[in-house]
Each structure stands twice: as C-alpha cells, then as structure tokens.
Structure 1
C-alpha cells in the first residue's frame, strides 16, 4: 500500500477518534476550532500557498463547520465564512488572482447599495450591524472565494486532494451523530425534520453537509481508491453518510447529492472513450442499486415514515398542505418586496423586519434567490445572473473540471432551501471556476 493511502487511512481513524472524543468531552470542540484556524494560517504562510494550501484548509473548514456549531465550538457564529475569507486573502497575497476576475468584483460592488440602504432605513430597534453581517457574509464569502478561484490553474490531482480535505471532518460528524442517536428507530415519531437524528442541531444544515458528504465520498470511491481497502472504506462511508442524511428527515441535502452524482456520472460518461463507457454504465447501475438498498434500510429503521416524508405526507399518510415545509409564505413575501421595490430592493437584512411588520411572521429567509431579489432589487437579479452564467461559460471552455456542474448545482439547490447559513455553498460554488488540467507523465526515451 502506498504512503499516501496509509496516510489517508490514519487520518480517517484519527477523525473517527476525534468525533468520539468531542462527544465525550464537548469542550474539546473549542480547542479544535482554535487549532484549525491557527494551523490554517500557518499552513498557508509556511508554504507561501504554492500548492493552493488555501483551498485545502478552506475545504476542511467547510466540512467541519456543522460539527463545531452543533457542539458550541465556534467562538463566532460565522466562523466558517470569516475564516475562509482570511484564508482566501492570505492565498491571494502569496499567489495573486486573475485580472479577469473583475466580474466578481462587480458582483461585490452591486451589493453595496443594499448595505447603504439598510443602514439608512432600518428601525432603531434593529441591530443593524448583526442584521447586515448575517445576510451579507455569505455573498461576500462567495465573492472573495470566487475571485481567488476564477481561472486559477490547478492540477486534477491537487483538486482530488481538496476533495480529500472535504472528506475528513465528515467522518467525525458521522461518528458524533451515531453516538448522539445510537437508535434511529427510538426517536423517529413523525415526518417532520428530526433534531434528534441531527445531533441536536438544525436538520436542514446537517442534511446539507451530509448531502455534500455523500458526493465527496462517492468521488473518493470513484477516483481516489486505488486499493481494495480504500474501496471498502470509502464505499462504506458513502452508505453510512447517505443513511444519516436520509434520517435527518430534511430532504434538501439528500436530493442535492443525488443530482450532483447524476451530473458527474453523465459528464464522465460523455467524456469517456469507447472502452470506458461500459464501466461507467456499470457504476451507474451499481450506484442505483446501492441507493435502493440504503433507502430500504432507512425505511425499515424509520417504520416507513421516511417514505411518507418524501411523499409530503404526515405520519398518518395525509398529504400536507405545504410542499416546502411552510417556506412558500416567506418566498411570496420576498417576491412581493421585490415587486414593490424593483430598483434597489428594501436593503440588506430588512426583509425579516418588513415581513414581521406586514404579516406577523418572525422568520429569516430560507431562500437566497428571493432574499437577493427582495433586499437588492434589480442589482440582486444582475448578481444572480452573473453567478449562474459564469461557471457554465467557463465549463464550456474547460471540460477537465468534471466537478464544475456538480459544484454549481450544489450552490444553486442549497441556497433554495437553506439560504447561505453555512459557508459551504459559497466556497463550493467558487470551486466551479477553477481551471483544471492534467499533468502528463513525460515519455521515456532510450539513450
């Protein structure tokens, strides 16, 4: 077994131990947070970001953020976004960024009028700084990460290294979830999102990161498993994470993972040569059968309630009135704000304030698209068009980033059900902008 493979196995075992340790001694989580942040800065500075160390440590932070939040390890609620901003800035100091990234500077500039409008018009009772920071930190993190990643050259092997960095904290999360809820059957009583199976944290956010985890370990299995042992480990983790994602009873993350994997396999199939296509076809069939197996096991463990959840039914099998768990009202109110204020919107963070005043509903937005429209008006619409179209254009010119469309769809689907509560959609979106290339081995010449 190669040295790299052994290192990966040791790291998986270490994070298995870490997940258990944090469950037993939760205060370790705060120490873990500080260690990650300090090591991240040291890692980038020591290597002068020569091999895109900023991407590797940021990917690690993305996956660990939920674990730190559910165990009260973060010193700041937006630790994930702020630390990634710092890592991205450090990376750009050492290795610069593309002059063509001006499109994302424009994206950030178009956010400013909404911030100014909010500062001028918010009620005195509103904590303007918190309201703005909560709603703008996600887009700013996306903008800065995109400036760093835009057309940045990276080898396919290094990109697989970034995927590995994503994978490790997910092992700790799964261990923590199993220790928190050893028996799923004992805590599932209805078809609503389940906090008990989500480590006592928001099921929507746990489902989001586990959905990303399903994709990450599927990639590990497909492209980073050169030995039988690694194949067994990564296949097992795909199945385990899929099961834990399903039983959160939050559908968004799992459905997103399915779409991401489907896109990756389709791209690989059409880019493969004639001899490889049958192998990919077999992978598609095996993936489908494995998915059915995990679903069947989940159905047994939840007494069939998971089937009703995805059929939008309650525990008695009656169809629920709301298709989106009550989010329709939030979406409708935000669209109305856009129609009423189509130029500049209502200002960053004000949609919650206005909704409470007009409807009595006290709830933050779950949909980043309608939030951008409500708070930034036509400028938000321009930003959304730029965000959606740019990765598609780049992918058309660089097909070697086979993950690009999967990364893009993760951002798009996640912001539709979980807004940008986590740093994950911002950073994963930026990865779709990388310019990936394969290093060809030099030919051997006989003397």
Structure 2
C-alpha cells in the first residue's frame, strides 16, 4: 500500500511524452516482487537439506550462463577496447546484470564448496566451476556484482566459522585455503586475458593508466539528484519513475537510478523511509527467534549490496531477501518400531 501514493503522484508529475504504464511498472516491479516473495516465504518451515537444494537450483542456471558466455565470447581479448563495462564479454546483455547474476552463482558455489563437498573430487569440481564463473564475472568489467559477491561470501564464511565447532573450523580453514588459491588463480588469468586492463579498472584508471575522477562511474551524482528530489518533495515524493523523467528534461540524458535507496527516498518521500525501515528491521527481529539459517547474513548482505549498485532491475535481490525469512528446522527422521508378535 505504501507504493500506491507514488503512482498517483506520478500520474500528475510525469511529462506527456513519458509512457506512464511502462515507466511505473519498470521501477515498481522490483519492490512488488520483493513483497510477494517475502510474504510467501516468511516463517515457512524448511529443512537444511531443502535450503541446500534451493541454493543448487540457484546455482545451475548460473552455470548455464557461464557456459553460454564462453560460447558467445571464447576470446575476451578480441572484444576489449577500454576499461568500460563490456557488453560483448557479457553475452550481449547488460554487464551490470550479468555480473550480478554471476556473483550470485559465485556465492552459491562457495556454499556448496564449504557445506556440500565431502570428498576431494567434489571440492575440485566446485573449485573449477568457481574459477570459470568468477573469471566471466570479472571480465564483464562491471565491478559491482563482483564486489557484492566478495562481501556476501565474506558474510557467509564469517557466520559459518563463528557457528562451527573446533573440528569443523579446521575443515573450514582447509577449504578456505583452497578458496584463496582459486581466487588468486582467477585474478591472474583475468589479468592475463584482459592484457592488464582489468587491473586498471579496479584501480580506477583509464586504459592508459590515468586516474579517473569518479570512482562510482556517475552513481554518486545520480544519488545526489535523488536526494535533492526527496528534499523538494519530502512527504509523498516526486512520483514513481519521475527521477528518470526529470533527469531527461533537465539534462537531456536518460539515466535510470542505480541505487534503490535513493530512488525510494526521491520517488516515495517519507513513505520510502518507512519502507526501508521495515525492510531492514523486520529480518533482524525475526532472526532473534530463528537462528538456524546459516545463510541469513549472506542473503541480507546480497540484497543490500545489490540494491545499492544495481537497483532492483533483476529479481535476484528480492528472492534472496525472502529466503532470509525462511524458518530452517532440524530434519526429523522416522522411527521404525518393530511390531511384537503374539
């Protein structure tokens, strides 16, 4: 219901040339998806095995995406000309979204590496998949998805290590050492295949090594514009999709928001603050009574990191936010009683 006022305001504030239904649907589809997913999965009881099966279902499509990228662009060197995000290396899709999807896959394969790899063969297989997926994510030249994946994996490993017993911690340390070696190998391969351009990208340099002024590639400027929109209309906001429409009117540039927090404040006003408070506080109050979900902090971290660099253009952050609200229970094994013969 908190989204409705922004639609009404948009019906008044959007310009005549703007396609009302398309524009409003574009910016509100993500929040609506999150709301439906969260309501459906809230306090839904699942076993740890089911949670691992869900992560496998998330992983398999990203393996398919990785395979497609290798077939679409076998040689990355042939499509590189600068340090900008590369659509050709992203399979013809948006580099930001592809990197985000692959970052999600990186997280899913790391979960399997640490929790579902009981023997050397599975560890080796998962490491190979991780290296391939990480390489394709890095060479999109979109940093957001890769950095978000690193943060999410860090949140997962930190929580896992904290919850584990002494013997389990030793196993985690061994797997972590393998993980670090795989990460180092991935970066060396990526640097070699991009002729050092990826190093410049992450050092915020252009192709010839000059320091860039803006580390965020314009995202801070967009966020400042959104805060100005909030200050100009703090109660109900400037209306759904009005931020992009306003930017087109004033600057002649059609640039959509990359930060869902800024967009919520600008387009929904005070109700946007209320929405954010609910989204941030509710999972942690629920967590206080349901602490068995080992992926909780990683899932919340993925949602928060993704909406800050890519908005809610894809459904992944909505889904993972909802998965954090699952009630993970212990598996109950049936007890077979032998009947007594008379």
Compute the TM-score of the two structures, normalised by the length of structure 2. Answer: 0.94
- Within 5 A, what are the aligned runs for 1:182-193? 182-193=74-85
Give the C-alpha shift of residue 444 in structure 1: 8.2
The structure 2 residue matched to 1:357, chosen from 249, 257, 260, is: 249
Match of 1:434 among 315, 321, 326: 326
Matches within 5 A, 1:224-303: 224-303=116-195
Structure 2 gaps, min length 5 = none
Supply the distance in 1 between the matched residues of 2:208 and 2:29 (Cα, whole angstroms): 41
* Residue 44 (structure 2) pairs with residue 143 (structure 1): no
Q: For 1:355 and 1:224, locate their aligned partners in 2 and report how far apart those are by CA, in whole Å.
A: 48
Q: Match of 1:370?
A: 262
Partner of residue 46, structure 2: 154
Residue 440 of structure 1 deviates from its aligned partner by 4.5
- The residue aligned with 1:134 is 26
Q: How does 1:81-160 map to 2 (within 5 A)?
A: 109-160=1-52
Supply the distance in 2 between the matched residues of 1:144 and 1:443 (Cα, whole angstroms): 37
RMSD across aligned C-alpha pairs, in angstroms? 1.7
What CA deviation, in whole Å up to 9, does each residue of 1:366-398 have, x standing for no partner?
111101111000100110111112222222322
CA separation of 1:221/1:147 partners in 2, compared to 1, >3 Å: closer, same or farther?
A: same
What's 1:84 paired with? none
Larger RCO, structures 1/2 (Cα 8 Å, 6+ apart): 2
Q: Secondary structure at the match of 2:28?
A: helix
Contact 1:118–1:349 (Cα < 8 Å) also in 2: yes
Partner deviation per Cα, 1:173-219 (whole Å, 9 max, x = no partner): 11111111111122223211111110111100000000001011111
- Asked if the contact 2:99–2:145 (Cα under 8 Å) also holds between the matched residues in 1, the reply is yes
Instruction: Report the equivalent of 2:96.
Output: 204
State the shift of 1:171 in Å: 1.9
Q: SS at 1:420's partner residue? A: coil
CA contact (8 A) 2:30 2:312 kept: yes
Which residue of the partner structure matches residue 277 of structure 2? Answer: 385
Tell me the number of residue pairs that the alignment of Structure 1 and Structure 2 aligns: 339
Give 1:315 shift. 0.9
- The farther-off stretch of 426-435 and 281-290 is 281-290
* Shift in alpha-carbon separation, 1:288–1:444, aligned structure 2, 3 A: farther
Kindly indicate whether the alpha-carbon contact (under 8 Å) linking 2:14 and 2:242 is maintained by their aligned counterparts in 1: yes
Q: Distance in 1 between matches of 2:138 and 2:108?
A: 16
SS of the residue corresponding to residue 321 of structure 1 reads coil
Aligned-residue offset at 1:233: 2.5
Deviations 1:46-82 (A, max 9, x none): xxxxxxxxxxxxxxxxxxxxxxxxxxxxxxxxxxxxx
Residue 304 of structure 1 corresponds to which residue in structure 2? 196
Structure 1 gaps of 5+ residues are 1-108
> For residue 407 of structure 1, what is the aligned residue in structure 2?
299
- The answer to whether the 8 Å contact 2:83/2:197 transfers is yes
1:180 aligns with 2:68: no
Shift of 1:162: 0.8
1:157 and 1:438 in contact (8 A); partners too: no
How far is 1:437 from its partner?
A: 1.2
Match of 2:309 among 397, 400, 417: 417
Are 2:127 and 2:182, in contact at CA under 8 Å, matched by a contact in 1?
no
